[in-house]
Chains A and B, each alone.
Chain A
Amino acid sequence: MVEYQLLRAHSLDELLEILDEKENVQILAGGTDLMVDLHHQDDKFEKIDYLLDITAVNELKGIKLGNKKGEIGALTTHAELVNSPAINEKLPFIAAAASSIGSTQIRNRATIGGNLANAAACADSFSPLIALEAEVVLRSKGGARKILLEDFVEWPYQTIIKADEVLEKIIFAMPEGEYYSSYQKIGRRKALSISRISLTLLAEVENGSVKKAQVASGAATPFPVPFRKVNKYLNGKNFAAINPVEAGNIAADEMVGITGERWSTPYKRPALGKLVERAVEDLLEEAGYNG
């Protein structure tokens, strides 16, 4: 039988104090992952003595985008991202990813921090943030550490967050100069999980070529990774020399290099290749190249 004591933190200090003092504490944010587990009386609740609701901790909320740096509080909901004028203007791929999640009711409660901390292979917030080379700030009573998001997940549903830490916020450098982005997603959550792939391409461009490209995918691999070989292929290339199909093939090969040949490979390989191809086509079109 599931039994725990529910606690509520009203400030970051109080939250960190509780994490420091008590054992077997599970953080509760929007609850859209955890309440499903609770309903199913999941085994994970056997190890939980305290459920700590953090939704009243205002220090963990909010979006700040400057010229050089940006940050998103862990408790920011997907709806807040969708509705943020700054996000839509400067980082539209984050708004696109957020708007693809769940339904209006889910987006009103579900947080970006919960999406990352839950670390499902198909979690949609990873690819845009990895493309931004974002870091997560993990805070405990003793202080904070910054971890590159791509190093944050050890295995599906397992992150490096320690028992006394909370994911406080996500921080990143803003893309520089002229840049374009594309977010693509295929498949629905309720469909078989192999049929879900999301992809972000973010590219800084200059004088008709790609200065710096970042391609990242959710659900193509067991945990999200940047596609370095595609980045390398695109970096420094003149638009005229970029072949979207080739970029797609490189990404597909790179994915198989990470996952190995699996039963799902015959589906995922062409699907990912196509997504990358489409994203590169989008980029060329948006950048005004129609060669």
Chain B
Amino acid sequence: MAKLDVELKVNGEDYKLQVGSQERLLDTIREQLKLTGTKEGCSVGECGACTVIVDDQAVNSCMVLTAQVDGSKIITVEGLESKSGLHPLQKAFIEKQAVQCGFCTPGMLMSALALLNTNPEPSKEEIKTALEGNLCRCTGYQQIIDAVEMAAEEWGG
């Protein structure tokens, strides 16, 4: 099957890629771009481990064919860290002990970032809604919600 040409901006860098007809955004990110922070859990939209931000919205990268998002701006967990060090969200996750095995963390961070980018002062309910598609087997979610609240406070002011 013929490959398709796509252009993506990932974490601020432009890429011209060729993708297969069945290639998911998750595959492109992990295999072509070698950005392995994004995880594959359930592969069917239930766990959120593969969450990335596509044009400002949190999406499950296992549910999207890469060719569908040709021309889009994508942020993965690798996009969080900058020259000035850890992102406030990452610091808050560490501080609030919201990371145990860490498998869900990249997805959680992406859902939280998408929320804070559009809603810098979310309520607890809004945080819960933003994270409802991200499963964590280790923590009780409370630490994660606390971390997002802390990051929102630090970031906002």
Contacts and interface: CB of A to CB of B under 8 A. Distances in A.
A6 B65 contact: yes
Contact of B68 (A36, A53, A106): A53
B64 A108 contact: no
B45 A35 contact: yes
Contacts of B68: 8, 28, 31, 53, 55
B133 interface: yes
Best-buried of B44, B65, B111, B134 by chain A (most CB within 10 Å): B65
A102 interface: yes
Contacts of A36: 44-45, 63
A184 interface: no
B38 to A, nearest CB: 13
Interface in A3-50: 3-6, 8, 28, 30-32, 35-36, 38-40
Contacts of B67: 6, 8, 53
Given A35-B24, A104-B130, A104-B133, A5 B2 contact: yes
Contacts of A4: 1, 21-22
Interface in A270-291: none
B22 A105 contact: no
Contacts of B64: 31, 35, 109
B4 interface: yes
A84 to B, nearest CB: 15
A27 to B, nearest CB: 12
A2 B20 CA distance: 13
Contacts of A106: 45, 60, 63, 133
Nearest to B55: A108
Interface string A98-111: 00001111101100
Interface residues of A, number: 27
A53 B63 CA distance: 13
B1 A3 contact: yes
A171 B35 CA distance: 44
Interface in B40-99: 43-46, 48, 51, 57-60, 62-65, 67-68, 70
Contact of B22 (A2, A30, A190): A2
Nearest to B70: A8
B142 interface: no
Interface string A257-277: 000000000000000000000
Contact of B132 (A28, A35, A103): A103
A25 to B, nearest CB: 13
Contacts of B134: 103
Interface of B: 1-2, 4, 21-22, 24, 43-46, 48, 51, 57-60, 62-65, 67-68, 70, 111, 114, 129-134
20 contacts: A5-B1, A6-B4, A6-B65, A8-B4, A8-B67, A28-B68, A31-B68, A32-B63, A35-B24, A35-B44, A35-B62, A36-B45, A36-B63, A39-B44, A53-B68, A103-B132, A104-B111, A106-B60, A108-B57, A109-B63
Interface of A: 2-6, 8, 28, 30-32, 35-36, 38-40, 51, 53, 55, 79, 102-106, 108-109, 190
